[in-house]
Amino acid sequence: MAEVLIVGSMALDSVKTPFGEVERVVGGAAVYAATAASMLAPPRVVGVVGGDFPQEALDFLASRGSDLAGVERVEDGKSFFWSGVYDYALGERETLDTQLNVFGDFNPVLPESYSDSRYCFLANIQPQVQAAVLDQVSDTCFVMCDTMNLWIETEREALEGVLARVDLALLNDAEARQLADTPNLQLAAERIMAMGPRYLVIKKGEYGATLVTADDIFSIPAYPLPNVVDPTGAGDSFAGGMIGFLARQDDCGNMQLRKSMAFGTAIASAAVEDFSLAGLKQFGMPQVAERYNALRDMVRFDAMDHELAQICQSS
């Protein structure tokens, strides 16, 4: 088992969905990802919080095995704040407010103890910061990065620099289309792979996710849920589950990557069942295993029977 380096936002979120509304709850990409990853491997978190960030949230992360030596606390500053509202189908969201606060000047200096990290997840954050973190780890084995439309629009060069250095790029479908400047996802994947990453994962929300490698494609559906409450953090929980799984196995072969996506899908399904970390907090390994196995059953189909296969060949 290896540790997982996770860098990203640690935030307070105000979120409104058709199923409820919460104010200034704990969120942020690094928080979701670390909570998810810690089910399998110890995270090393890199981030910054203000004096308003609840100590109990940090205590919770620590209690689940996260190393918080890389979390800076600016007592007289305010935490990154995001506020958004989701549409009735939870497929689209509108950002109402973003306050960078202490996150705006974030210039992470990794603790010496983090420098041997081999598994890294660079959550959505300015690409220059992602690059600065990569500069401080010398012996990486597998690096995943996320991004967002803002950096594609405003920091494309820096972003492409990061993409050339990571093993796996994680994008949602809209971001992939935007980055590759084509509506066709398969074509977009080919273009993004040409930017450098060995692997690409395209997140499709309720439609699942797709892994593209040089040789093949893997697709996994989302875990079907009749009671999605808040999609915030789903992608980061998915990513955290993936990198946690890979670090635990200490193996990034193709089949391990596929399994890591099933694991991430199972964990992400818990994240969306409640606001903030409430869904993840009550989700244990037996539930992960149950949903992992359910996903396997959900996609299985047999080979064509012998007679039909013969007809196909002889046509």
Q: Is 186 helix (H, G, I), strand (E, B) or coil?
A: helix
Q: What does 198-236 look like in DSSP terms, one character per residue?
A: SEEEEE-GGG-EEEE-SS-EEEEPPPP-S-----TTHHH
Tell the smallest beta-carbon distance from residue 186 to a second copy (Å): 4
If the CB atoms of residues 120 and 272 are measured against a second copy, the closer one turns out to be 272
Please tell me the chain's helix, strand, coil percentages from 3-state DSSP, rounded to the nearest 5: 40, 25, 35
If the CB atoms of residues 14 and 219 are measured against a second copy, the closer one turns out to be 219
Strands, sheet with 11-17, edge to edge from the N-terminal-most edge strand: 20-27, 11-17, 80-86, 93-99
61, HSE (Cβ side, Cα atoms, 13 Å)? 28
If the CB atoms of residues 49 and 262 are measured against a second copy, the closer one turns out to be 262
Helix (H) or strand (E) holding 307: helix 306-314
Per-residue mark of binding to a second copy, 173-202 (x: CB under 8 A): ----x-----xxxxx--x------------
Binding to a second copy (CB under 8 A): which residues in 17-76?
Answer: 18
Site stretch for a second copy (CB under 8 A), options 52-60, 72-80, 151-159, 205-213: 205-213
If the CB atoms of residues 113 and 293 are measured against a second copy, the closer one turns out to be 293
Exactly one of 2, 228, 247, 268 binds a second copy (CB under 8 A); which one? 228
Dihedral over Cα of 33, 35, 39, 41: its sign: positive
Which tokens sit at 204?
Answer: 């499709």
If the CB atoms of residues 69 and 299 are measured against a second copy, the closer one turns out to be 299
Exactly one of 210, 232, 269, 276 binds a second copy (CB under 8 A); which one? 210
Binding to a second copy (CB under 8 A): which residues in 272-291?
Answer: 284-286, 288-289
If the CB atoms of residues 164 and 308 are measured against a second copy, the closer one turns out to be 308
Distance, in Å, from the CA atom of 273 to the CA atom of 202, rounded to the nearest integer, reads 22
Exactly one of 143, 261, 271, 277 binds a second copy (CB under 8 A); which one? 261
If the CB atoms of residues 164 and 285 are measured against a second copy, the closer one turns out to be 285
> Does 313 sit near a second copy (CB under 8 A)?
yes
CA distances from 42 to 54, 86, 100, 170, 248 (A): 21, 32, 27, 21, 9
Residues within the interface to a second copy (CB under 8 A):
18, 88-91, 177, 183-187, 190, 204, 206-208, 210, 216-221, 224-228, 248-249, 255, 258-259, 261-262, 284-286, 288-289, 292-293, 296-305, 308-309, 311-313, 315
